[in-house]
Amino acid sequence: MTRRGFVLGCLLLSACKPPVPRPVSLPPTPALQEEVLRSIERPQLRILDLHETPSPDGKRIVLTGTLKNDGVGPTRELVINIEGRDDNNAVVCSAEAVPSTQEVLPGDTVSFTATIDNRPETADYHVEAIGR
């Protein structure tokens, strides 16, 4: 091949159109679907009442109360703590109450009892119920 033929071949090649790129085919878009989410089943405990009865010797107070599960899930472990507090909200005595059952279904009530020291500085009681 001569130099002239080579140059002529290069000119012819450069005059050609470049090939048109093929369109890229994308995978089909999946159809959207709604997913139903389960609600979290948690208990929500509310103290309904609390009554105090002094022991015959006056040294202890028997506290009885009722709580209700207003949540959407049952309790499996129920812990009820009672604190006696003074006028400054400082804890002066405490006790763990014993519930009548550990499992409280939604909408059910349960009673609890605790015995606590009868301290003259006790102005009020704070009750905390935790259900898991």
Query: What domains sit in the chain, N to C, each tagged with a CATH number?
Result: 45-131 (2.60.40.10)
* Maximum separation of any 2 CA atoms in the chain, in Å: 128
**131 vs 39, higher pLDDT:** 131
**119 closest CA partner among 89, 94, 82, 88:** 94
Is the pTM higher than 0.85? The answer reads no
For residues 81 and 98, is the Cβ–Cβ distance under 8 A? no
Average pLDDT over residues 109-126: 96
Determine the pLDDT at residue 39.
73
Average pLDDT over residues 47-56: 96
Residues 10-36 have pLDDT tens digits of 666 666 667 778 888 888 888 888 888
Minimum mean pLDDT among 58-62, 76-80, 113-117: which range? 76-80
Determine the pLDDT at residue 83.
97
- Cα separations in angstroms, 35 against 30, 32, 56, 72, 98: 14, 10, 61, 21, 42
Determine the pLDDT at residue 98.
93
